[in-house]
Amino acid sequence: MLTGTTVGLRARYEDDIPILVAELYNDVVNGSRAEGSPWRPIRPSARDPRLITDESKEDVVAFSVVSLADDALIGSANLWGIDTHNRFAHLGLGLIPSARGSGYGTDVVAVLCRYGFVVRGLNRLQIETLADNHAMLRAAERNGFVREGVLRRSAWVLGEFMDEVVLGMLQEEWMRRS
Ligand SMILES: CC(C)(COP(=O)(O)OP(=O)(O)OC[C@H]1O[C@@H](n2cnc3c(N)ncnc32)[C@H](O)[C@@H]1OP(=O)(O)O)[C@@H](O)C(=O)NCCC(=O)NCCS
């Protein structure tokens, strides 16, 4: 397990899936804002690729996030779009509602950066988030990500087009902070 100050990132267990479905993926607002695709309901037993880890896929690594204090499941995190030629990947994360706003998200980003830069030897990590997702923007910036641009009206979210912000960090920048 990868550990931060308050969170652990471990493999996805079968028992995690109904909790993540109920708390994250079947939430229409969260799903619509986070997925970049139309929300659809998921059965707890569904073999949905967002929930099932396929170790044969080289371009994505999925984690379940637990609280180190009590080992409780608090969310999901991943590195996706892993490009081993350009040594680049995207970060994704989502916490269950009761775990938000307590500093866990900032710690998850820190752990994903360590995994990306140290374990995987990547050179660049990227986050895309809606321009009004202040918690995600802050969690990224607290870890050294810089805003690189705005994709104007690039996301259709529940009846309106919204801007997305692209944030990036290079390995050399992360090393200087560590
Ligand atoms: C986005 C998310 C991962 C952030 O994790 P979190 O644990 O809630 O965030 P943290 O508690 O680490 O807070 C990070 C910063 O944002 C601030 N913040 C937290 N919630 C906030 C909110 N609702 N509005 C504004 N700022 C907020 C915190 O004060 C903190 O700033 P600081 O370091 O300057 O004090 C989490 O809220 C979440 O899962 N949201 C729903 C799914 C989602 O949006 N995923 C990202 C898709 S790109």
Q: Is the dihedral of CA 82, 163, 103, 54 positive or negative?
A: negative
Sign of CA dihedral 68, 72, 75, 81: positive
Could you tell me how many residues make up the chain? Answer: 178
3-class DSSP state for residue 54? coil
In angstroms, the CA 29 to CA 104 distance is: 21
Distance CA 147, CA 100 (A): 22
How far is C-alpha 32 from the chain's CA centre? Answer: 15
Give the closest residue (by CA) to ligand 1 atom 41. Answer: 94
Q: How many domains does the chain have?
A: 1
Give the model's pLDDT for residue 43. Answer: 84
Give the position, in ligand 1's atom list, of the atom nearest the Cα of 130. Answer: 48
CATH classification at residue 72: 3.40.630.30
- Whole-number Cα distances in Å, 116 to 53, 109, 132: 18, 10, 26
Which structural domain range is residue 40 located in? 2-177
pLDDT score at 126: 98
Q: Going residue by residue through the chain (178 aa), what tens digit of pLDDT does each one get?
A: 999 999 999 999 999 999 999 999 999 999 999 988 899 988 877 778 788 888 888 999 999 999 999 999 999 999 999 999 999 999 999 999 999 999 999 999 999 999 999 999 999 999 999 999 999 999 999 999 999 999 999 999 999 999 999 999 999 999 999 8
Assess whether the C-beta atom of 132 lies below 6 angstroms from ligand 1. no
Burial class (CB in 10 A: 0-12, 13-18, 19+), 147: middle
Say how many Å lie between the CA of residue 124 and the centre of ligand 1: 22
